[in-house]
Copies of this chain bind each other. A is one copy, B any other.
Amino acid sequence: MNISESERDALYKVIFSRRDVRSEFLPTPIPNDVLSNLLKAAHHAPSVGFMQPWDFIVVDNEQTKVAIKAGFTQANEQAESLFSADKRSQYKKLKLEGIIEAPLGICVTCDKSRNGPVVLGRTVKAEMDLYSAVCAIQNMWLAARAENLGLGWVSIIEDAVLRDVLGIPEHIDIIAYLCIGYVSEFKNKPELEEKGWLPRMDINDVIHFNRWSKT
């Protein structure tokens, strides 16, 4: 199956306009068929040994969101204290999640025990299954953008909170909590670039040929 130039350019448009959304969520409901599209895109990610180690817990219950938001608030207070004084004031001004405002949350997990203890391709690198779940997240992120939905990955929540609130068994690894919804706008640049938190690196500084070439 051939991908045409216009289809290729569509992919690049989606990749370059994808954003990590926290502040622009609208309450507009997400149709079920659109949610299905996102989950199907995630489920068609590559996985080590085709083990498909992921699960997706879709969250739309308000009380559940409130409990998860409380977990964020607690973890974020601890996070603030880790930054130097000058960075801390900038950090405190950033909105880092949209847990309540986004109509949907999706918790993505990894079941290392799926399909037995020996997994093709995981024999050397034990973390390959976690990486498969991340590939599913990136597929979902691009699918969301292609559906004109914003997605934000909230990583400042203790696993114990998500495990308790969502009833996730102990043997399941928690990878991500994602907020998803239609948005008032997609910013032209990543918010952390726009606000001067960090600049985009020169791509030539991260490319090497045949051997590591930095000191």
A39 vs B142: C-alpha distance when bound (angstroms) = 17
Q: Which residues of B contact A169 (CB under 8 A)?
A: 212
Q: Is the CB of B1 within 8 A of A186?
A: yes
Q: Is the CB of A207 within 8 A of B3?
A: no
Oligomeric state, in number of copies? 2
Write out, one digit per residue, whether chain A residues 51-93 have a CB within 8 A of any chain B CB (1) or not (0): 1101111111100100000000001001100111001000100
Which A115-165 residues have C-beta < 8 A from chain B?
115, 118, 120-125, 127-128, 130-131, 134-135, 137-139, 141-143, 145-148, 153, 155-159
A120 in contact with B211 given A8-B146, A37-B12 (CB within 8 Å): no
| A interface residues with partner B (beta carbon < 8 Å) | 1-3, 6-8, 10-18, 20, 37, 39-41, 43-46, 48-52, 54-61, 64, 75, 78-79, 82-84, 87, 91, 94, 96, 115, 118, 120-125, 127-128, 130-131, 134-135, 137-139, 141-143, 145-148, 153, 155-159, 166-169, 172, 175-176, 186, 190, 192-193, 197-198, 200-201, 203, 206-212, 214
Q: Top 5 nearest A-B pairs by Cβ distance?
A: A10-B10, A7-B10, A138-B138, A50-B192, A134-B134
